[in-house]
Amino acid sequence: MAARTSVTLTAAAVAVLSAWPSPLVQAQDPFFRAGIEQVRVDVSVTRGINPVAGLTAEQFEVHDNGVVHAVERVLQEDVPLRLLLVLDTSRSLEGAPLRALVAAARSLIRALRPEDQVGLVTFSHALQLAVAPTLQHDDVAGALGGLQANGDTAWRDALFAGLQLAGAPVDRRPLVLLFTDGHDNASWLDAPDVDDVVRRSGVVVHAVGLATRNRREVLTRSLRLPLDAGGGRFWSAEEPEHLGNRFAEVLREMRARYLLLYTPKGTPAQGWHDVKVRLKGVSGDVRARPGYFVSSR
């Protein structure tokens, strides 16, 4: 059994992670250093709500800072996940919503493959690192049984922490699944700071929101920029009993995504690279991260 982390994180994510060297800078450039030889881009291709399967490298092209690159290799389900569950436990979830959330998260964990890693961060106005990423899925399922609903909502701080824990493993596809039912009213981190960290992190970010139709639009607007920056989507549940389906849809979407590999040529080595992915000879809606950052270190 992997050792369970019981350290409690304070309300300020910056203070929580101050033991880690330069956390904001670390999150900005985990993948790439000057002289990089190959770039990985995680891409979703859909028609309507359905994933487009069976695409090959020849059916993609990547524009890196305006320079067209051929895709050298395409990977899909053979790359295991490194999944961080970042779950809201604020007071508004007390009772049936929290029970539904725990059931949905446990169902998702059961659907993971043995080679997938999973970790758990919970948050209200304070953050709790319940379980660091592990192959011991039962550790996370067990930790879910201890969740209690209280406090306000600090999802920006929690998302930041999840990005740090997801990291940028070369042998896995990092994914943060954020769940919340409300507007952020307790984070120390500002929205532009978190959006920029997501943009540079290399981590796919999805969010599931529990909100009535009237509140869904507000929640969607607040999450739109970090989700665009993370190449992910917002998944809405109007009732607690719908959470299991939304979590399952996130996992199916992640399994259906393509991991494109290409070697950048004719573009500046350092700094921010704008990336656009286009299809050739096939139709579909493409969703991917907006780019990557190469540091001088």
pLDDT, average across residues 163-185:
92
Give residue-wise pLDDT tens across range 123-163.
999 999 999 999 999 999 999 999 999 999 999 999 999 99
Assess if residue 219 is contained within a domain: yes
pLDDT of residue 78: 78
pLDDT of residue 89: 98
pLDDT of residue 5: 33
Assess if residue 28 is contained within a domain: no
Is the per-residue pLDDT at 7 higher than 70? no
Q: Based on the structure, what is the number of domains in the chain?
A: 2
pLDDT, average across residues 172-199:
94
Is the per-residue pLDDT at 4 higher than 90? no
Together in a domain, 110 and 230: yes
Q: Which residue has the higher pLDDT, 12 or 130?
A: 130
d(CA 274, CA 62): 10
pLDDT of residue 36: 59
DSSP string spanning 107-174? HHHHHS-TT-EEEEEEESSSEEEEEEEES-HHHHHHHHTT----S---HHHHHHHHHHHH---TTSEE
Of 241, 247, 235, 11, the residue nearest 125 (C-alpha): 11
**Domain residues for 66?**
36-76+258-295
Q: What is the mean pLDDT of the chain?
A: 87
Together in a domain, 61 and 143: no
pLDDT band at 266 (very low <50, low <70, confident <90, very high): confident
The backbone torsions φ and ψ at residue 260, rounded to the nearest 5 degrees and listed phi first, read -95, 135
Together in a domain, 116 and 226: yes
Together in a domain, 83 and 212: yes
Q: Which residue has the higher pLDDT, 268 or 86?
A: 86
pLDDT of residue 130: 97
pLDDT of residue 204: 96
d(CA 112, CA 118): 9
The DSSP symbol for 32 reads E
Together in a domain, 131 and 238: yes
Give residue-wise pLDDT tens across range 192-247.
999 999 998 999 999 999 988 778 888 999 999 999 999 999 999 999 999 999 99
Together in a domain, 118 and 229: yes
pLDDT of residue 34: 40
Query: What percent of the chain has a predicted confidence (pLDDT) above 70?
Result: 87
pLDDT band at 269 (very low <50, low <70, confident <90, very high): confident
Together in a domain, 113 and 228: yes
Residue labelled with tokens 């920056």: 229
**Beta bridge pairs of residue 278:** 61
Of 210, 248, 207, 253, the residue nearest 230 (C-alpha): 207
Is the per-residue pLDDT at 13 higher than 80? no
pLDDT band at 274 (very low <50, low <70, confident <90, very high): very high
Cβ–Cβ contacts within 10 Å for residue 274, how many?
12
CATH number of the structural domain spanning residue 121: 3.40.50.410
Question: Hey, is 262 helix, strand or coil?
Answer: strand
d(CA 66, CA 84): 33
d(CA 148, CA 152): 13
Length of the chain as a residue count: 297
